[in-house]
Structure 1
Amino acid sequence: MNYQSKNLKIFINCVVFAVITAVLAQVEVPLPLVPISGQTLAVGLTATILGSSQGALAMICYATLGAIGLPVFAGFNAGAEVLTGPTGGYIIGFIVAAFLMGYILERTSFRLTMAMVANTVGMVVILLFGMIQLKYVTGLGWGEALDAGVYPFIVVGLIKAFLASWIGIAVRKRLVQSRLINPSEKAAA
């Protein structure tokens, strides 16, 4: 495969997963400060399927689309003010978490057990980034930020981590078989 074809395939993968994230962002359960949404499920799927670099790139694409005004964030919200607002830390955390989850899988193996470990680590990273920004933007204390921005999401986050792992590994196998993603991204064991 030539360089241009490879770059086009990477670009398409990133855009497709940014769109998947935008669609799943609209699946939400409202809570007082931070809603439960399908975004974190999409982040886990993205990293589990695409790996570190493309996973992070897809999340950068997602954040950029929202920042420039496309209504891709939860509740069809958009704009840079979302990224700097109370829930923006979660979105920034998506980028770091996607890279870290993919990195863990690339350095170990794309198997269900390791995907569950990677997705759980990613969930913690997203919640940490979100809670820190929530605390500083709203002026909440650390305990209040934990109560509003972390605790309500732990059980649902673990369920989403399992689903992202299970679905992601199955989809990744199919995409590798059909040569839509590069199996060499498995990296060293």
Structure 2
Amino acid sequence: MHQQSRRLRIILNCAIFAALTAILAQVEIPLPLIPISGQTLAVGITATILGSRQGALAMICYALLGACGLPVFAGFTQGIQVLAGPTGGYIFGFILAAYITGWVLEKTKFNLAYAVLANTIGMLITLICGTIQIKYLLAFDWTTAFLTGALPFIVVGMIKALLASWIGIIVRRRLIQAKLILANKQSAA
């Protein structure tokens, strides 16, 4: 029964954080090609709280929900065409970013300093994945792809990395205290 309870907890955590990502995706500042949205904030919060595997699984669930037609992407969009479009690289990047962010924290400590480092790395991974898809999809050279797909988002991304770190560490500690997530040996502040 304990193993079933643990699996159910993992499924519920992933569903909750996929839903959080869908909600924060609707908080956006429109820009000509790629809007600034709350999705990346949700990715950082998710990875900081859940760690690598569950964080990546939550982002896979999020991407699959959108691919299946639920309007979970920024601007209430959905479908395979979003994943194949200019913003799709960022969404695929969320999966890798969540995994790497969580992995860095698992290999170091779940504290604010390491969370900022991990979330900064995760933000850069997301921007790199988005820029690569923009470069090839729109047949841009690397400079144009960087100027379009990464540069406008670096400052905002750093702010989101700081917020995700701060929120994620606080919420993680409280969820551990409430026994809603399991702490690992690296969870000490």
Report the TM range for the smaller structure's normalisation.
Answer: over 0.9
Shift of 1:187: 7.1
- Give the Cα–Cα distance (whole angstroms) in 1 for the partners of residues 114 and 187 of structure 2: 14
SS of the counterpart of 1:22?
helix
The residue number in structure 1 matching 2:167 is: 167
What is residue 28 of structure 2 aligned with on the other side?
Answer: 28
Paired with 2:84 and 2:187, the residues of 1 have a C-alpha distance of 35
Q: CA shift at 1:138, angstroms?
A: 1.0
User: Are 1:48 and 1:168, in contact at CA under 8 Å, matched by a contact in 2?
Assistant: yes
In structure 2, distance between residues paired with 1:31 and 1:47: 26
C-alpha offsets along residues 115-144 of structure 1, whole Å, 9 cap, x if unaligned? 000000000000000000011111111111
User: Please, what TM-score do these two structures have when normalized by structure 2?
Assistant: 0.97
CA distance in 2, matches of 1:28, 1:141: 27
The amino acid across from 2:18 in the alignment is A
Shift in Å, 1:186: 3.5
Q: After the TM superposition, which residues 119-134 of structure 1 pair with which residues of structure 2 at under 5 Å, given as runs?
A: 119-134=119-134
Distance 1:154 1:112 in 2: 20
Match of 2:81 in 1: 81
Q: Which residue of 2 aligns with 1:51?
A: 51
Question: Which runs of structure 2 are paired with 1:99-110 in the superposition (5 Å)?
Answer: 99-110=99-110
Matches within 5 A, 1:146-185: 146-184=146-184
Aligned-residue offset at 1:185: 6.6
The amino acid across from 1:61 in the alignment is C
Q: Which moved more, 1:138-147 or 1:17-26?
A: 138-147
Q: Secondary structure at the match of 2:158?
A: helix
CA contact (8 A) 2:89 2:130 kept: yes
CA distance in 1, matches of 2:111, 2:64: 31
C-alpha displacement at 1:184, in angstroms? Answer: 2.1
Q: Which runs of 5+ in 2 are unaligned?
A: none
Shift of 1:114: 0.1
Amino acid at match of 1:95: I
Say whether the 8 Å CA contact 1:105–1:114 is kept in structure 2.
yes
Partner deviation per Cα, 1:20-40 (whole Å, 9 max, x = no partner): 000000000111111000000
Q: Distance in 2 between matches of 1:118 and 1:38?
A: 18
Give the deviation of 1:86 after TM superposition. 1.0
Q: Cα RMSD between the aligned structures?
A: 1.2
String of CA shifts for 1:49-70, please: whole Å, max 9, x gaps.
Answer: 0000000000000000000000
- Normalised by the size of structure 1, how large is the TM-score? 0.97
Q: What is the alpha-carbon distance in structure 1 between the residues aligned to residue 39 and residue 135 of structure 2?
A: 21
Q: Does 1:69 align with 2:62?
A: no
Structure 1: tracts of 5 or more residues without a match: none
Question: Are 1:113 and 2:113 counterparts?
Answer: yes
- Whether the 8 Å CA contact 2:110–2:187 is kept in 1: the answer is no
Q: Which moved more, 1:154-163 or 1:139-148?
A: 139-148
2:111/2:187 contact within 8 Å kept: no
Secondary structure of 2:11's counterpart equals: helix
Hey, what's the Cα distance between the residues in 2 that align with 1:186 and 1:27?
Answer: 33
Q: Which runs of at least 4 in structure 1 moved beyond 3 Å after TM superposition?
A: 185-188
